[in-house]
Structure 1
Amino acid sequence: MIKKFHGPDRRLVLGGLVVLPLLSVTWPTGGAQAQPAAADPLPSWNDCPAKAAIIDLVKTTTDPASPKFIPVEGRIATFDQDGTTWVEHPIYTQVVYCLDRVADVVKAKPELKGVEPFKTVLSGDRAAIAKLTLKDLEKIAVATLTGMDVETFQAQVATWIENAKDARWGRPYTELVYQPMLEAMFYLRDNGYKTYFVTGGGQDFVRVYAQRVYGIPREQVVGSALGVKFGHDAQGKAVLIKEPRLVLNDDKAGKPEGIHLEIGARPVIAFGNSVGDREMLDYTTSGAGARLGLLVLHDDPAREYAYGPARGLPDTKIGTFTPALDEEAAKRGWKVISMKQDWKRIFPFDP
């Protein structure tokens, strides 16, 4: 795992192309009727404006007597993934995947062993890897994310995600999900909302584990997407081959565009954490009726990480939360969720 990485932004690295960029579990999906409220539907949250706003939105939009009532078919909730529902520092998980896959790529194509940037990645020199250029990352992404059929790619991701572990916590990346956000997803689904991922990460990548980890079906994952080409394998089976061609860059303005193309309805509530999510919140809260936008602020270096540069936090190229975004949130009523102040627990494994 790379300790520090000062790479390009998500639009280039995780656009499904770093031109770039299992287990069966039954999850509640919510019904047409609002469910009885628990004593505390969000137990890992401290009492805070964000928690109150989520609960109020759910109550007012699911009560048939409320003037803000929304029929079940209109209850749409969207979540960014990286930095919003799981850890994104010090480097995006999908980028770690691409780097980890280099060894297998070189094994299949030994002629790449002495070729840059594959040679640098194989060296394990973290400082050198951190200095890889955008063109270097493009080569790595093309080699690790394209050229295989969709099923092969899904199998490769499934194997990796089950075995790879984060260096800081020594746990699988799928355990580094935020318990308060899981509770928000459950609460919304219990009250008839459909929960969608709208992520800058690769759509095919996230679809591998979204159901198991978050209870979000693969068809409810909207992400940056590569093109595919129909063909047949050596046995004559019809397959789709992943190509180095970016079809949807699901970041910034690409998020509302992707929402329209793949969901077809404006969300009622949207969760994000960075400048890449601004347009999604703008689109969501510009609609008529009850709407809510929320942003996660990483301000807890002890339990997770702290970065901004809003509110004097360290600057970062990964998950940037600028003072301008903070100011816009205040003006437009978007709720900023402080990890440090608003969450009792961050991870499911926290005491």
Structure 2
Amino acid sequence: MRSKKLCAAVLAATLGFGFMAGAPSTEAATRAELAQISVNQKGTNFKYWNKDAKSYQALTNYVKDVTNPKSKNFIPVEDRIAVFDLDGTLICETTPSYFEWMMYLERALNDPTFTPKKEDREYAKVVKAAIDKGSLPEDMERKEAKSQASVFAGMTLPEYEAYVKKFMQTPAEGMNNLKRGDSFYLPMVEVVSYLNANKFKIFVVSGSDRQALRILTDGIMPIEKDNIIGTDVWNLASHQGDTDGLDYLYRKDDEVIRGEFTLKDVKMNKVSNIAREIGKQPVLAFGNSSGDGSMFNYTITNNKYKALAFSLLCDDTERELGNQKKADKMRASCEKYGWIPVSMRDDFKTIYGDNVTRTK
């Protein structure tokens, strides 16, 4: 139950990330520049794709086919639904881990204005060690989501938004001239623009926090905030305490604050959320990992329309922090299930712009 003065004080304090001093300025495409990326309806002005790539040809041939009223595969505008994962599909996920996971570690381990619960601090250390090792246990997805929700619980929505925006300004670890909030893949921003020009309704369906997703994608791509689906936490009234929402009346002096974890939006949960929140089967799906597998298969299985699923392969180890072993595993899954592989190494002319390089 915080006064507005206290909320303002907390907001001001939470913006002081200790490692920001001396951070390099970015020379990558800025958010404003990313927002200007535009591909026309015919797809004649793609800049960042190799036009002879099978994935590029599959996508553009598909869109031309299903938007042609004379084609037997024509899809009415109201049913042109495309779903995109975020991390590793639209934005980098290896600096050295997901945006929201790194922000969680900052909050739990490095933020001098915040004292986490002992169990959250200790688990954050476990997560950091796993990231440093490059191996995330299967059960970490759920446990990290619960701990992450806990360290941000009690924040008002504007406070959390300010925290996310500040963290977006931090350097993308492992890359030169790139900020975390600017680390969108230029070729994939083009895909979103191209689909939007062809009247596809575009959704982000991600394992990341829904509010963080709304902030990260805002102004970058033509995706409405209503079309963001992600991992959720409870939102509560600031004076609600433990009172059930069925028994509480929002007060004039209340603010909406973040609460505890409710649902991790990965794997089959993505399908459940798509069915509940979109209410239609997608005809296009884009992802990059096993966490997107159910979404892929749901899109292309028993669909009344022609449908495709595309999976990015993290096979670029020169321009991006790729992992060939993971890429090979995903390519094998593509062959097994009928997903279309997208080689970041071979199919993209650039990823972030040529002035963005690896630090090692």
Query: Please, what TM-score do these two structures have when normalized by structure 1?
Result: 0.76
- 1:38-49 to 2 correspondences below 5 Å: 38-41=43-46, 43-49=48-54
Partner of 2:97: 91
1:147 aligns with 2:154: yes
Q: What is the aligned partner in structure 1 of residue 280 from structure 2?
A: 265
Counterpart of 2:246 in structure 1 is none
Q: CA deviation at 1:130?
A: 4.6
Q: Verify: 1:339 aligned to 2:344, yes or no.
A: yes
1:314 and 2:353 are equivalent in the alignment: no
User: Relative to 1, partners in 2 of residues 1:350 and 1:270: Cα closer, same or farther, differing over 3 Å?
Assistant: farther
Residues 1:218 and 2:225 aligned together: yes
Asked whether the 8 Å contact 2:150–2:259 carries over to 1, the reply is: no
Aligned partners of 1:337, 1:251: CA distance in 2, in Å? 21
Displacement after TM superposition at 1:169 (Å): 2.0
The aligned residue for residue 113 of structure 2 is: 107
| One of 167, 170, 180 as aligned partner of 2:173 | 167
C-alpha distance 326-130 of structure 1, shift in aligned 2 (>3 A): closer
Sort the Cα spacing of 1:62 and 1:169 in 2 relative to 1 into closer, same or farther, 3 A. same
Q: Return closer, same or farther for 1:41/1:117 CA change in 2, 3 Å cut-off.
A: closer
Q: Matched residue pairs, number? A: 308
SS in 2 for 1:205: helix
1:138 to partner: Cα distance:
6.7
1:111-190 equivalences in 2 (<5 Å)? 115=118, 118=121, 130=132, 137=144, 140-161=147-168, 163-170=169-176, 171-190=178-197
SS of alignment partner, residue 232 of structure 2: strand
Residue aligning to 1:242: 258
Q: Which residue of 1 aligns with 2:28?
A: none
Q: CA deviation at 1:66?
A: 1.3
Contact 1:105/1:143 (<8 A) preserved:
no
Q: Secondary structure at the match of 1:314?
A: helix
What is the TM-score of this pair, normalised by structure 2?
0.74
1:24/1:88 CA distance change after superposition, 3 Å: closer
Of 37-46 and 174-183, deviating more is: 37-46
Q: Letter of the aligned partner of 1:102 in structure 2?
A: A
Distance (whole Å) between structure 1 residues aligned to residue 228 and residue 300 of structure 2 = 21
Q: Shift of residue 139 of structure 1?
A: 7.6
Is 2:313–2:331's contact at 8 Å kept on the other side of the alignment?
no
- Structure 1 unmatched ranges of 5 or more: 1-22, 308-312, 316-320
**Correspondence for 1:80:** 85
Distance 1:136 1:211, change over 3 A: closer
Identity of aligned residues (%): 28
1:37 to 42, 64, 68: 42
Q: Structure 2 vs 1, CA of residues 257 and 139 (structure 1 numbering), >3 Å: closer, same or farther?
A: closer
Q: 3-state SS of the aligned residue for 2:325? A: coil
The one of 252, 255, 274 aligned to 2:267: 252
Paired with 1:235 and 1:210, the residues of 2 have a C-alpha distance of 31
Q: Which of 144-153 and 71-80 deviates more? A: 144-153
Match of 1:281 among 268, 273, 296: 296
CA RMSD of aligned residues (A): 3.6
Distance 2:130 2:298 in 1: 40
**Residues 167/58 of structure 1: CA separation in 2 closer, same or farther (3 Å cut):** same
What do residues 18-44 of structure 1 show as CA deviations (whole Å, max 9, x unaligned)? Answer: xxxxx89996999xxx96524343643
Q: Which amino acid aligns with 1:76?
A: I
